[in-house]
Amino acid sequence: MSTTSTTATRRVAPPAAADSPMLVGGRWTPGALDRWLDVSNPATGEVVGRTPRADETDVRHAVAAAAAAFPAWRATVPAERARVLGAIADDVEAAAEPMARLLSTETGNAIRPQTRPEIASAVALLRYFAGTVGEHKGETVPLGGGLLNYTLREPLGVVGAIIPWNAPVQLAAVKIAMALSTGNTMVLKTAEDAPLAVLELSRHCARHLPPGVLNVVTGLGEEAGAALLRSDGIAKVSFTGSTRVGRLAMAEAARRILPVSLELGGKSPAIVFPDADEDDVAAGVVAGMRFTRNGQSCTAGSRLLVHESIFDSFLDRVRTRVEALVVGDPLAEATDMGTLVNRTQFDKVVDYVEGGQRDGAEIVTGGLPDPAGPLGQGLYHLPTLMRGVDPSWRIAREEIFGPVLVAIPWTEEQEAIEMANDSHFGLAAYVWTHDIGKALRTAHALEAGWVQVNRGTGQLPGMSYGGVKQSGIGREFSLEGALEGFTSRKTITVDTGV
Ligand code: NAD
C-alpha cells in the first residue's frame, strides 16, 4: 500500500446529542413502545442522538394519518402546494449550516464538499418541484364521432418511501417534493445510520404542511421498513437502497400490484478515450468517483476503463489527484473525505480490497491508513486506486460502495463498450473524449440510465434520473419522473352528442 494522502485532524465539536422523535399525524412521537435507537458519529464513535425504533403499530398509525390527510391535500390548489414547497425550501436554506453539520456528524461525509452541497441540492429540488405544479397536465385526444376524450393526472394516495443513509437529505427531499407536489401524501422511513438531518428537514416541512401530509418513521429496515412495505394502506412504493432490499420491496408490491420506483445500486463505468486532456479528465474521474462521499454513492464511476495507449500516464494523473485529497475530520473545512458510515461498511470495503489483492490486483495508492497515525483508529479508509484487475473479479463487478476505484485498460472502442455493459447494473456511465462522434456513439451504446459526457458531478433538478437493468425502475429528479411515478392517468370519454 502506498499513499501520501494528507490528513485534517483538527477536531471540530459536533452538534450535541438529543432525542429526535418521529413525525406521525403532525405530532412528534417516541412511538408506541417508546424504544430508541442510538445514532453514532462514525468519526468518533460517540452517540450523537437517538431516534424511535418504530414498529408495526407506529407504521399503521403513520399510514392512517397519511390516508386521512389525502383527500384534503389532493384537493389543494396547485399554487398552494407550490407555495408550501417553496416555503419549506426557504426554511431549509436558512437553516442549512446546522443541518449540514448534523448530516456530516451522522454520516461521516465531509461538510465542505459533500453535506453543504447536499442541503443546497435538497433546497433546489424542493424549488424545482414547486415550480412544476402547473405542469401536471393531461391531454385531449381527438377521436371524432362527437366524443370528447381527455386525460387527467391524478395522485395515487399514500406513498410509502424508504431511503438509505448515503445522501439522505437529498433523497428525502426529492421523494417528498415529487410525492407532495403531485398531490399525494406520504410515509417516509429513514435509514438507521442517518435519520437525524432528515428529521430536521421534516421539522421544516411540518411547519408548513397540514398534519398527516408527511409522516416520518424511524427504525430498522426489517421492522419499520418491512411493515411499511406490507401495509395495505399505501398506494405506491418509492424505494432507494440496495438491489437486495429493492427486490424485497418489489416482491411485496407485487402482492398488491402496487406501482414501484426503485433506485438501486450501481457499478458505473468511466470510459476514457486516448484523445482526452489527461489532467482535466483525471479531475473529472476523481469527482465522478464521489470520493467526497467515500465512494458511497450509487452513481460512483468506480470502473475506470482507460485506453491502453494512455493507461500508465493517465493513472499517474489520477494517482496525483487522489493523493491530494485531504482525509480527516468530516467537520473540518480542509477535509475532502471523511469516514465510512459504519463498521459494517468499513469491513466490507477492507474485504473487497484484500480480496482484490489476493486475486492479484495492485494498490496504486490508498488502502488503510497507518494504524499508528491520526486516522488509524476511526472508520477511515484512504481513497484507493487499483490496477492489474481482471474484469471478471469481484472488485470489478460488485458494488463496493467505498472509496475504491479499479482501473482496466482497453484497446478497441467496441471492447470498452462491451466491458462497460458487462454488468447486471445499469445506473450511470461516464464518457471522456473531445471527439463528439465517439462520445455520442458510446453514450448511445451504453446500457445505463444516465450517461455523462465530459462531466463527473451529480444530478441536477430537471434531469430524469434512474437506472436500467438491476439498478432500478422509474425516474426521479424530474417532472417527467414525478408524473410517471407519482400520478396515474385517468381517461374520460364524453359523448357530447354533437
Ligand atoms: P439498504 O437497501 O440496506 O437500505 C436502504 C433502506 O432500506 C434503509 O432505510 C433500510 O432500513 C431499509 N431496509 C432494509 N431492509 C429492509 C427490509 N427488509 N424491508 C424494508 N426496508 C428495509 O441500502 P443501504 O445500505 O442503506 O444503502 C446503500 C445502497 O443504496 C447501495 O446499493 C446504493 O447503490 C443504493 N443507493 C441507490 C441510489 C440511487 O439513486 N440509485 C441512491 C443512493 C443509494
Judged against a pLDDT cut of 50, whether residue 3 lies above it is answered with: no
Q: Whose CA is nearest to atom 39 of ligand 1?
A: 263
**Is 34 inside a domain boundary?**
yes
Spacing, Cα 262 to ligand 1 middle (Å): 10
Do 175 and 314 lie in a common domain?
no
Q: Judge whether 442 and 271 are in contact, CB under 8 Å.
A: yes
Do 291 and 200 lie in a common domain?
no
Catalytic residues: 263, 298
164 CA: nearest ligand 1 atom: 26
User: CB of 174 closer than 6 A to ligand 1?
Assistant: no
Do 126 and 182 lie in a common domain?
yes
User: CB of 242 closer than 6 A to ligand 1?
Assistant: yes
User: CB of 162 closer than 6 A to ligand 1?
Assistant: yes
**Is 248 inside a domain boundary?**
yes
Do 295 and 191 lie in a common domain?
no
Q: Whose CA is nearest to atom 34 of ligand 1?
A: 265
Instruction: Indicate which CATH number applies to the domain containing 47.
Output: 3.40.605.10
pLDDT tens digits for range 44-61: 999 999 999 999 999 999
Any residues with CB less than 8 A from the CB of 480 and at least 6 apart, and which?
464
pLDDT tens digits for range 120-162: 999 999 999 999 999 999 999 999 999 999 999 999 999 999 9
Judged against a pLDDT cut of 60, whether residue 5 lies above it is answered with: no
**Is 191 inside a domain boundary?**
yes
Angle (nearest 5°) at CA 113 between 102 and 206 = 35
User: CB of 399 closer than 6 A to ligand 1?
Assistant: yes
pLDDT at residue number 1: 41
Enter the C-alpha cell of residue 229: 412495505
Share of the chain above pLDDT 90, in %: 96
pLDDT at residue number 207: 97
Domain extent at residue 309: 269-460
Closest by CA to 477, choosing from 461, 497, 491, 489, is: 461
**Is 17 inside a domain boundary?**
no
DSSP conformation letters of 175-223 = HHHHHHHTT-EEEEEPPSS--HHHHHHHHHHHHHSPTTSEEEE-S-III
**Is 5 inside a domain boundary?**
no
Share of the chain above pLDDT 70, in %: 97
241 CA: nearest ligand 1 atom: 30
User: CB of 118 closer than 6 A to ligand 1?
Assistant: no
**Is 6 inside a domain boundary?**
no
The full length of the chain comes to 498
Place of cell 438507521: 192
Q: Whose CA is nearest to atom 32 of ligand 1?
A: 242
Do 379 and 476 lie in a common domain?
no
Do 257 and 274 lie in a common domain?
no
Secondary structure tally for the chain: helices H, strands E? 15, 23
Stated pTM of the model = 0.96
pLDDT tens digits for range 257-280: 999 999 999 999 999 999 989 999
Enter the C-alpha cell of residue 251: 416482491
Do 232 and 293 lie in a common domain?
no
Instruction: Indicate which CATH number applies to the domain containing 324.
Output: 3.40.309.10
- Average pLDDT over the chain, rounded to an integer: 96
Do 177 and 206 lie in a common domain?
yes
pLDDT at residue number 17: 65
Judged against a pLDDT cut of 80, whether residue 8 lies above it is answered with: no
CA distance 492 to 36: 49
Spacing, Cα 245 to ligand 1 middle (Å): 6
Judged against a pLDDT cut of 70, whether residue 15 lies above it is answered with: no
Assign 361 a pLDDT band (cuts: 50, 70, 90): very high
User: CB of 401 closer than 6 A to ligand 1?
Assistant: yes
**Is 498 inside a domain boundary?**
no
Do 284 and 216 lie in a common domain?
no
Total domains in the chain come to 2
Do 384 and 441 lie in a common domain?
yes
User: CB of 37 closer than 6 A to ligand 1?
Assistant: no
Spacing, Cα 324 to ligand 1 middle (Å): 31
Do 164 and 288 lie in a common domain?
no
Do 242 and 279 lie in a common domain?
no
**Is 204 inside a domain boundary?**
yes
